[in-house]
Amino acid sequence: MEDISSLFSLFFILAFSIYLFWGIDIFRINPKKGLNRAFFALSMALCIWSFGYALGNTAENMERALFWRRLASAGRMHLFSIILHFIILLTYEREKLENKWYLLPLHIPALVLTYVFSISSKMAPLQYNLMQIEYGWLDKPVDNIWNKFYYLYFAVYMLVALVVLMKWKEKIKDKEINRSANLIFNTMIIGVLFGVLLDILPNISLKKPVPQISVIVILIPVGAMFYAAKYYHVFQVQIPKKSEIIVTEEEKINIFRNLSIGFHISAVLAFLSEYIPYMDEDNAFIYALLKALALTGVGFAVGLIQRIKRESKRDSLTILVLVLSIPLATLQYLKYGALTVWAFPMVIIISSIVFSKLTLLILTTIISIITQVLIWGINPESIVLIDKFDYILRIGMFIVAFFTGLYINRIYINKIRENKYQFEFQKLGSDISLQFVSLNGNNFNEKVKYLLEKIGKYFNVDRTYLFTIDYEKQTMTYSNEWCNTGISEEIGTIDDIPLHIFSWWIKELENNKLVYIKDVNHMPKEAIEEKSQLQRQNVKSLVSVPV
């Protein structure tokens, strides 16, 4: 019985750790952006929900189980209004909605339900019917007006969210963004259906409550949101300047910011593993808290150091803090022979790859060996009892190591792709130059066609074309074109058009030597003619350079 309930608590703790990582990772990209803040709030609501379930599921008595259930409800009640808030920001014109008060009324039902299910000392205990079975402490929902109001709130908000998503994905023509919209929409449907089928319907219709695992299932749609938000340009960050080393300065900073998050997650897991098994002992809370504060202090130190602008100073301080964290983290578990945390330096060794010098790698190895020798001398033999909380701590370390390794792996893969891209670009320039050596009046159009085709395929665009300008007549002509598969030709549609009609375009070329239009719909008012022409051709974005 205890093993099964502990297993469910472990799953809830894992969900908590993942939500915490996702929320902080998105928030740190741009804390001032409303969409980032909304996703962070969504993740924190899920953290509270999963954390409350994790501790409440294996509570020693009903009083403690009720306390953690009430805490979990604070996250659960706010989740659905935050999801709708996030989706509205994601799908509508964010510049009109961010930092506004328009969406705050969405959260009124959540505030009311939080008061009823979590805060009120009179009303909250009446909303739960807790039973301890083999799966742990479970709740058989009370049949009253407040639970019905919660079900109505859940149904309406999720239905509106799905409708908003459906309308958004129907309007999107960009293939990548449309793919991300479909991903979020489909996983949202899965999350809602599983929530109804696994939590709501069984606990309403059955006499015996079943494990309520919606907070775990929601990993699917929230993971889709995280993926789409981070990798489909919703949370776009400025591309750093590339340097000669394998990773850029910005990428290196991000690695150690992620490692900082890992320390915070480890602090939470360390607190749980040290406090819950010994909560009835004197000073158990203080003892566990001090261990957690030591780890989270390292996390804050690593994170704050990344704000230092001078790279050499930043690297030196980062190395110092990380190296000192090895004995700090390991010696806390001296009486256990550092059984679980001995592998902690491996995470730092993975991170040391990003430094062009071997200082961190060498120092980490030396200090790790010295620390282990010290533990060997102080406590040469020990018999240790491993319980569920040791496994939780181990799994937490694996998660931190995984995300650190995943980020570094992504950097190296991108660098390999970048090198391949540069090689192909150099080959493109060489091939075109070779072709144009034999350029003459008879083969001009053929050579230009070859040029446009090569450029179009290299950049994987729909269309490339050449305008020729006659400055004597002050006209321009759409003279040469290459179209990708499935794209209609426009050649012959623009002949001898007066330059003054496209005056904005010509002026941009003369002043900037480049016309870059990221989104045709956002072109300036003075480019009304150019905008009209591009919209007629269903052009979404383009780059134009003089030849």
Q: How much is the average pLDDT of 424-447?
A: 79
Element (H, E) at 304: helix 284-305
Distance between CA 18 and CA 403 in Å, rounded?
A: 10
Q: Is pLDDT of 106 > 50?
A: yes
Distance between CA 100 and CA 465 in Å, rounded?
A: 43
Residue 87's closest CA among 103, 99, 71? Answer: 103
DSSP string, 367-412: HHHHHHHHHHHH-S-------HHHHHHHHHHHHHHHHHHHHHHHHH
Structure tokens at 400: 């931190």
Distance between CA 488 and CA 472 in Å, rounded?
A: 31
Distance between CA 492 and CA 489 in Å, rounded?
A: 9
Binned at pLDDT 50, 70 and 90, residue 156 comes out as: very high
Q: Is pLDDT of 95 > 50?
A: no
| 446-495 residue pLDDT tens | 888 888 888 888 888 888 888 888 888 888 887 888 888 878 787 777 77
Q: Is pLDDT of 241 > 50?
A: no
Sign of the torsion angle spanned by Cα atoms 20, 21, 23, 27:
positive
pLDDT greater at residue 527 or residue 238: 527
DSSP state of 501: G
For position 7, what pLDDT does the model report? 78
For position 431, what pLDDT does the model report? 79
For position 356, what pLDDT does the model report? 61
Map residue 466 onto helix, strand or coil.
Answer: strand
On whether the CB atoms of residues 191 and 185 are closer than 8 A, the answer is no
Angle between helices 2-29 and 219-231 (to 10 degrees): 20
For position 244, what pLDDT does the model report? 38
Tell me what the pLDDT averaged over the chain comes to.
78
Q: Is pLDDT of 411 > 80?
A: no
On whether the CB atoms of residues 371 and 330 are closer than 8 A, the answer is yes
Map residue 295 onto helix, strand or coil.
Answer: helix
For position 277, what pLDDT does the model report? 67
For position 242, what pLDDT does the model report? 42
Q: Which residues, 6+ apart, have CB-to-CB distance to 497 below 8 Å?
A: 475, 476, 477
Of 114-123, 239-248, 291-300, the range with the lowest mean pLDDT is 239-248
For position 109, what pLDDT does the model report? 92
Please give the single-letter amino acid code of residue 499.
L
Structure tokens at 363: 């120092």
